[in-house]
């Protein structure tokens, strides 16, 4: 089923706040085999001048998954999650964030395009991450919807 | 990173990884918050036309993040972008690589990639890294 482009671009994605948990960052580090102590040990992080464990480069994506219904926008557009692949991911960083920070995320669907006569659609979601009035980073995700691969 | 010896073509120390197990996928699902069942539930993957579960693209991007932060302080990363060009099957063995492709007075662009043991490239991307100011360079190595 083709995505309704006008509807996608008009979708209001809820803004939300996430407090970054130290234990969660350690779990993330463990799951990716990270051994650099500054991502695991608070004393090691402080020894290099950080206030706490830094949020690693790609964990910004995980922050956006803390939304109440992270794939809700796809469901609202009638997209079967099984047909979705992650196509591209970009991060632009202004400054680091750390365990204990409360970060605000605001999201929008920035673009919808299609290829092969609509057989593949590309949805671009942009997430701006701030801490108080301070801009921290921007995350840009492109998901690919493979239409008509699931027959059921 | 030693800013003084950087040249176009300088390679980053590669990051070889262990084969990706189902346990890794389960742990990464929990740790990353990406609970899409296609990565952890064989029945779900098959119903979508895949033979087996496959790794989260963001797991490979996180490995590339390790490649970068193992080379420079994270605060020097200005931007980091990838295209996911092929699926990473369970049990595949990725290696992360990076090569300097351009260099200005204050920043360096690194092309990064993740390649499996069979030669398949799964991720291609770029990172832009801020170089230390000249005054810092004596102590930053």
Tell me what the pLDDT averaged over chain B comes to.
93
Note whether ipTM > 0.85 here.
Answer: yes
A75 & A132 share domain: yes
Of the candidates B24, B66, B75, which has its C-beta nearest A96's C-beta?
A: B75
For residue B33, which residues of chain A lie inside 8 Å, CB to CB? 62, 65-66, 70
| A84 assigned to some structural domain | yes
A43 & A106 share domain: no
Of the candidates A66, A84, A89, which has its C-beta nearest B82's C-beta?
A: A89
Of the candidates B32, B79, B82, which has its C-beta nearest A88's C-beta?
A: B82
B141 pLDDT above the threshold of 50: no
| A63 assigned to some structural domain | no
Residue B46 pLDDT: 95
| A86 assigned to some structural domain | yes
Q: Which helix (H) or strand (E) holds A128?
A: strand A120-131
Minimum Cα–Cα distance from B85: chain A residue = A87
Please compute the mean of the pLDDT values over residues B96-121 and round it to a whole number: 97
B19 pLDDT above the threshold of 70: yes
Q: Does B95 touch chain A (CB under 8 A)?
A: no
Minimum Cα–Cα distance from A90: chain B residue = B81
Name the domain count of chain A: 2
A85 & A133 share domain: yes
Three-class SS of B68-127: HHCCCCHHHEEEEEEEECCCCECCCCEEEEEEEEEECCCEEEEEEEEEECCCCEEEEEEE
A10 & A32 share domain: no
Please compute the mean of the pLDDT values over residues B84-109 and round it to a whole number: 97
With cut-offs at 50, 70 and 90, classify the pLDDT of residue B137. Answer: low
With cut-offs at 50, 70 and 90, classify the pLDDT of residue A81. Answer: confident
A78 & A118 share domain: yes
Residue A2 pLDDT: 78
- Buried/exposed A132-141: b ≥16 CB within 10 Å, e otherwise: eeeebbbbbb
A72 & A11 share domain: yes
Residue B131 pLDDT: 93
Long-range contacts of A112-121 (CB under 8 A, 24+ apart): A112/A3, A112/A5, A112/A8, A112/A9, A114/A2, A114/A3, A118/A2, A118/A147, A119/A146, A119/A147, A119/A148, A120/A144, A120/A145, A120/A146, A120/A147, A121/A2, A121/A3, A121/A145, A121/A147
Tell me what the pLDDT averaged over chain A comes to.
92
A110 & A89 share domain: yes
CATH number given to B3-136: 3.10.129.10
B21 pLDDT above the threshold of 90: yes
For residue B56, which residues of chain A lie inside 8 Å, CB to CB? 86
Distance from CA of B57 to the nearest CA of A (A): 7
For residue A56, which residues of chain B lie inside 8 Å, CB to CB? 62, 65, 69, 74
State whether residue A86 is helix, strand or coil: strand
Q: Which helix (H) or strand (E) holds A29?
A: helix A22-31
A30 & A94 share domain: no
For residue B57, which residues of chain A lie inside 8 Å, CB to CB? 85-86, 89
A78 & A129 share domain: yes
Q: Give per-residue pLDDT as tens, A94-145.
A: 999 999 999 999 999 999 999 888 889 999 999 999 999 999 999 999 999 9
CATH code for the domain of A109: 3.10.129.10
* Positive/negative CA dihedral, A86, A92, A98, A103: negative
A70 pLDDT above the threshold of 70: yes
DSSP secondary structure code for residue A79 in this structure: -
Please compute the mean of the pLDDT values over residues A58-78 and round it to a whole number: 91
Q: How many CA atoms lie within 13 A of A122 on its CB side?
A: 14
Percentage of residues of chain A with pLDDT beyond 70? 96
Domain of A46?
Answer: 21-54
With cut-offs at 50, 70 and 90, classify the pLDDT of residue A151. Answer: very low
For residue A89, which residues of chain B lie inside 8 Å, CB to CB? 57-58, 61, 81-82, 84
A72 pLDDT above the threshold of 90: no
Q: Does A91 touch chain B (CB under 8 A)?
A: yes
A40 & A93 share domain: no
Please compute the mean of the pLDDT values over residues B29-40 and round it to a whole number: 94
Of the candidates B62, B70, B78, which has its C-beta nearest A58's C-beta?
A: B62
A80 & A126 share domain: yes
With contact defined as beta carbons under 8 Å apart, do B84 and B57 qualify? Answer: yes
A13 & A83 share domain: yes
| A96 assigned to some structural domain | yes
A59 versus A114: which is more confidently predicted? Answer: A59
B134 pLDDT above the threshold of 80: no
| A123 assigned to some structural domain | yes
A-B contacts (CB, under 8 Å): 114
For residue A65, which residues of chain B lie inside 8 Å, CB to CB? 32-34
């Amino acid at each position: 089923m083709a995505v309704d482009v006008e509807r996608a671009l008009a979708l209001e994605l809820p803004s939300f706040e996430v407090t970054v948990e130290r234990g969660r960052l350690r779990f993330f580090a463990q799951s990716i085999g990270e051994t650099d102590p500054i991502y695991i040990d608070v004393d090691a992080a402080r020894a290099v001048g950080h206030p706490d464990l830094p949020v690693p480069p790609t964990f910004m994506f995980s922050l956006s998954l803390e939304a109440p219904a992270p794939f809700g926008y796809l469901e609202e557009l009638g997209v079967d999650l099984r047909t979705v692949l992650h196509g591209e991911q970009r991060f632009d960083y202004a400054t680091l964030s750390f365990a204990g920070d409360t970060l605000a995320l605001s999201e929008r669907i920035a673009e919808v395009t299609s290829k092969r006569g609509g057989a593949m659609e590309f949805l671009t979601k942009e997430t701006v991450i701030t801490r108080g009035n301070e801009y921290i980073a921007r995350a840009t995700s492109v998901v690919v919807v493979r239409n008509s691969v699931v027959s059921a | 990173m030693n800013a003084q010896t950087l040249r176009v073509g300088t390679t980053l120390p590669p990051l070889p990884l262990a084969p990706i197990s189902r346990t890794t996928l389960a742990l990464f699902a929990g740790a990353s918050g990406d609970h899409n069942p296609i990565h952890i539930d064989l029945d779900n993957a098959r119903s979508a036309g895949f033979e087996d579960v496959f790794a989260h693209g963001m797991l490979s991007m996180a490995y590339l993040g390790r490649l970068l932060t193992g080379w420079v302080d994270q605060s020097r990363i200005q931007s980091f972008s990838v295209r996911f060009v092929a699926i990473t099957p369970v049990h595949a063995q990725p290696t992360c690589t990076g090569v300097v492709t351009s260099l200005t007075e204050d920043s360096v662009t690194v092309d990064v990639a993740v390649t499996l043991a069979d030669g398949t490239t799964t991720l291609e991307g770029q990172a832009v890294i801020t170089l230390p100011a000249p005054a810092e360079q004596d102590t930053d190595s």
